[in-house]
Structures are given as structure tokens and as C-alpha cells.
Chains A and B, each alone.
Chain A
């Protein structure tokens, strides 16, 4: 049976309209609703399903970040993850923490915990990087199956349907492997109240990046974070004829 590692990130809730900070070096996060990155929920769900199918023996969730990252780990535990590892990163270093750093941490933990499958979301909805799975796979020299929309375990390999630009693609990766979850991989479950209570008793180990020998020195410097250009307010048209004539005027028809 496989040992599974899932990566979970605490991000600003997907429905929140974000605001850029007055110093233009970031976005306002204080007092803003946060949640588990939606793609990571899908990753956790897939891992839990593997355990329910008796393909996975143990699921470990890792989150790298501020003390509040424990909330995301608790959510994962309530969904069915067995235990958590919180790699605590102080605010000053969290601001410049990159997927490369997280990948190195995940790779180290995967080696230490003798992991067979790593599942992470395809991207975090805050930095929109879409890099962690690929980089973790590279560092471990494991095969990768990105943007997975369906996975089937076949003995010591996983057959993965991937979402690509023109449609779908099927590949087969031998274990150990890294998978990144796309939106359509599954429908994540809600944590029930009893499971949320039980999750409080599950262990979360707190470590630092230094404990796993990973240097998280900045690789990028933020020069500015600004609002995107706003569009001019448009006009509401009375009927289809006006719409067609407006589009003609603009040369679109």
C-alpha cells in the first residue's frame, strides 16, 4: 500500500475581492477570510479516496507557512488525512517563499517519510504559479502527472488522464510519482462536525525549513504590487439591433 503526501496551502478565500496594500508591496491579508486552496482540497480528497479504496496506507499533509497554516492542516485532517506536518515560516520569510522552496521541503519530507505518491493542487489561487508539483518531481527525479482529471492505480503505476490545451491525454507513471490535481479530478467532501472534532486529536508536527535542511532565502524581490488597469464603464443597450450596429461600428462584424 502506498504512503501518500499531500501539500496544502492556506490562501485568501476564492470569493474575496482582494485589495492591494497602500505601500504597493502586497495585498491586504489581515482580517481577510482565508481557506484551503481549492485545488489542494481536491488533492486531499483524492488521497482520502485512495485510502478508502485501500490503495493508500497513510496520508500525511504538509503545509508551509505562517502559524495560521495549521487551520488548513486541520481542514485536511477533518477530511480524512491521518497526520499533519506544519513547516512554520515567519512572516518576513513567508513573503518571499516560492514554489521552489516549498518543493525542496516537500521533496525532503517525502524522502524522510518514505512516500510513494505526492499529490498537490495544480496551482495556488493566490500566486497562480502552477510549479510545485513539477519542481518536486524534478528534485526527486520522479515522474510527474500534472493537471490530472482522472487517476487509476494499476499495481505499481498510476494511469492519469491529464487536461491539456486541445483536450485530454492519458499517461502512465510508475510509483513513486508526483500528481497535480485539476478541478475536475473529484468533488471534495465537506468535513462533518464529528470529523472536525476528531481532527483536533490528530497530530500536527511543527518543524522549520532548517530542520529539513532547506534554505529559503529569497529568489525574487517584489518591486511592486498594483491594481490592474480598470476598464471604462460601458453602456447598456436596449435591444439586439443596437448591439449589432455597435459591433458593426467597431468593425467586429
Chain B
């Protein structure tokens, strides 16, 4: 029924939106009810490239500190806040209709979020409700309707023009700087949750987050990654020790995750996380296409692998052909 309504209404929506001359961007804030996620600051920088008014929607179970933080970020004109138990777990069935109602209220021409598991779940749902084709993982904004993204695991760069009335985008955080503080956005209530129809049928149950004190992969200046060559969970301790010595975040290849050496949220690559640190140190990673997709924009790439023909050496600035079980302990010892 919703499908039929959308098929019927699509023409209607586009004619309405095309009448608007000015850009207005709605950003969906990601947070943990305490702090704003770094990806949202990257999205704010992307929004600046679009021009026009920037509103940030903050929804959650406890949003006081996040609203305050967002209102002070450079480039934020308006913060739209809404608090309620229903936002527990940030379920797309609940949040998407809110985003839709907010987009309509402020006539947003663009709906944006930083690329993350959360926004990749939410934004396509919003786009379908708007009957527009969303754009995933944008790496550059050429104009308000022309975007650049990668396809085929980063092996081709696509520049596209969106023909839709409203543009729904997730932006790759490593391609846009994090917006600093220095703004003074006004804070308003978002559309009340009673004013639109919510989806049903889903329930958030629990979360198991991997806990460690190391820098977050997405924002770490140095990332040390281990692959199949590390051979076991026990051996991975060596990678952690080296990372700690270097103040680095720790990543892994799919092979290391599949073998059970590390949890999957550490996976870097086409289908895992995409990082672009100052230094990426790949240890015991061959450098399959799918892994390179997640790290080849790093400023400096160093690799330790005993196979001189490993593809990782084709992208590494510094390569060391050596047995990692000798080289890594030596590095741990020698780095002061």
C-alpha cells in the first residue's frame, strides 16, 4: 500500500521540491546519547560544500549533551532535537519517518549523514520513502547535484549527476575533514513524534560492543593491521603490543576475521571499515583487492610480508620482506 502511494506521489513530490531555489541540508546526527560520532562532523564539512542552510537532527533517548555539542560545531545553523524512549537502538523503522517528516518541514534539498553502519541502514529507507535514489559513500561533492563515489571496491571512480528532487547521501568520512567547533546554531524542537506514522515490527534487544582503549579506527592517525599471516589469536597480541607502542588503532583483513583471530568490527576493506590514516602498517596481509579498498587512501603505507610478490607491496611506500614473527618483536623492542 505504501508502495502504491509512493508510485502515485512521486511526480507530486518532485514538482514541489523543484520550486525551491535555495539549498537546505538536513544532517542526521549519529551519537551514543553522550557524544557526537566523529562521522557527523565529516558530514558537516561535506554539507558546507553544498552551501545553504544546515540543520542537524538529533534524536535519541538522552540527547542533552549531544545537542549542546552539535550546536557549537562550525557550520551548524539549526539543531532539531527530539528525545524519547522510542529512539532506543535508533531503529530505522522509527527514525526514517521522523527524518522524512523533518525533511518535508524544512524543505531540505539534501539529506546527509556520515557513512556508518547506522546511516547505511537508515538513509536508503528514507530515500525510498521520498522515492529518490540515494548515493552511498560520496567522496567528493562537485556541485549540489553532482557527486563522486567509488565503485568496484575502489577500482573505479564514478562521477554522477542525481536527477532526483531531493538528494540523499552518505559521505565517506575519510574524504572530508571533521568540522571543528566554533559555530552557534539555534536549538529547536523537531517535529513531534505524534505527527507522523511510524513503522512497526522491530525491537532492539541488546548490543555487544568490543571494548578497548586504543584509538578508534576511523579517526586513528596510525593503524596497524594484521592478516592471515599472523596465524592465531594469541599471536595477534604482538600486533596489539606494537600498536600500543605506536599509539595506533588496530585493524585486520577479512582472512584474520574469518579465521576468528579478531572480532569482525576490526575488518578493514570493501565490506568492512574504510580508513585513511597518516600511516597504515599492514602485517601479514597479502593485499587482496577487497582489502586495498579499505586503506589505499592512507598517506603512508608500510607493509611487512615474507612474500616479495604480495600485491600489498604494489601500494606500499615502504616494504619489508621479512618474517613478521621476527620483524614485529624487533620493532616493538626498537621503537622508543
Contacts and interface: CB of A to CB of B under 8 A. Distances in A.
Contact of A236 (B133, B204, B320): B320
Interface stretch (A56-64, A67-75, A84-92, A96-104): A96-104
Contacts of B116: 165
Contact of A223 (B159, B206, B301): B159
A140 B125 CA distance: 11
Interface string B176-219: 00000000000000000000000111111111111000000010
DSSP majority for the A interface? mixed
Given A165-B116, A168-B208, A169-B207, A134 B128 contact: yes
B300 A250 contact: yes
Contacts, number: 270
Interface in B105-124: 116-118, 120-124
Contacts of A127: 151
A17 interface: yes
A246 B331 CA distance: 13
Interface string B55-68: 00000000000000
A75 B13 CA distance: 40
Interface string A10-27: 001011011010000001
A78 interface: no
A166 interface: yes
Nearest to B298: A231
Contacts of B301: 231, 234
A247 B157 CA distance: 30
B133 A164 contact: no
Interface string A33-76: 00000010000000000000000000000000000000000000
Q: Which of under 10, 10 to 19, 20 to 34, or 35 or more describes the interface residues of A?
A: 35 or more
Contacts of B29: none
B201 A143 contact: yes
A225 B151 contact: yes
B161 interface: yes
Contacts of A227: 155-157
Given A108-B3, A143-B202, A164-B118, A98 B133 contact: yes
A220 interface: yes
A252 B279 contact: yes
A165 B273 contact: yes
A34 B321 CA distance: 34
A163 interface: yes
Nearest to B222: A252
B278 A252 contact: yes
Interface of A: 12, 14-15, 17-18, 20, 27, 39, 98-100, 103-104, 107-108, 111, 122-123, 125-132, 134-147, 149, 159, 162-174, 177, 182-184, 213-215, 218-228, 231-237, 239-241, 243-244, 246-247, 250, 252-253
Given A169-B206, A171-B204, 10 more contacts: A14-B290, A27-B156, A135-B134, A145-B202, A164-B118, A172-B203, A220-B160, A220-B163, A220-B164, A234-B313
Interface of B: 1-3, 6-7, 89, 91-93, 96, 116-118, 120-129, 131-137, 146, 149-164, 199-210, 218, 222, 246, 254, 257-258, 263-265, 270-271, 273, 278-279, 289-290, 296, 300-302, 304, 308, 313-322, 327, 330-331, 334-335
